[in-house]
Amino acid sequence: MSDAQTTSFVFKHLLHKDANLKKLKTKEDPYHIHKTLGILSICSFIYRYGYVYPTTGSLGFDGLTIDWLTMAIHTALALSSVLFRVPKKRIVEKVRLTCR
């Protein structure tokens, strides 16, 4: 599958039609630290609940180095949220997300 076909598949089947990936680049996270930690956390979650839990009956935290690394990634994700500024005034007009 070529890059164009892969990109087309992602935009047609995995993302909302109004998705704007350019908005993921922000001045608060120029080195993509929060995004990278978020992706790693999602991968960890999928692995633990999608593979480890169904096969072993637990999430597989046995105190190994990888287990501590996983917890450090999730903690770093929470701490990296401090990078983002919060507006002083709330947005009054809320946009509703609707399923189509």
What is the per-residue pLDDT across 23-76, written as a single tens digit (0 to 9) for each? Answer: 777 787 788 888 899 999 999 999 999 999 999 999 999 999 999 999 999 999
Predicted local distance difference test score (pLDDT) of residue 11: 65
10: in domain? no
Question: Is 50 within a domain?
Answer: yes
Distance CA 100, CA 97 (A): 9
Q: What is the pLDDT of residue 46?
A: 94
Domain span holding position 39: 28-82
pTM exceeding the 0.75 threshold for the entire prediction: no
**Cβ 37 vs Cβ 77: under 8 Å:** yes
Residue 68, SS3 per DSSP: helix
56 is written with which tokens? 């072993």
15 in any annotated domain: no
- The confidence band for 86, taking pLDDT boundaries of 50, 70 and 90, is confident
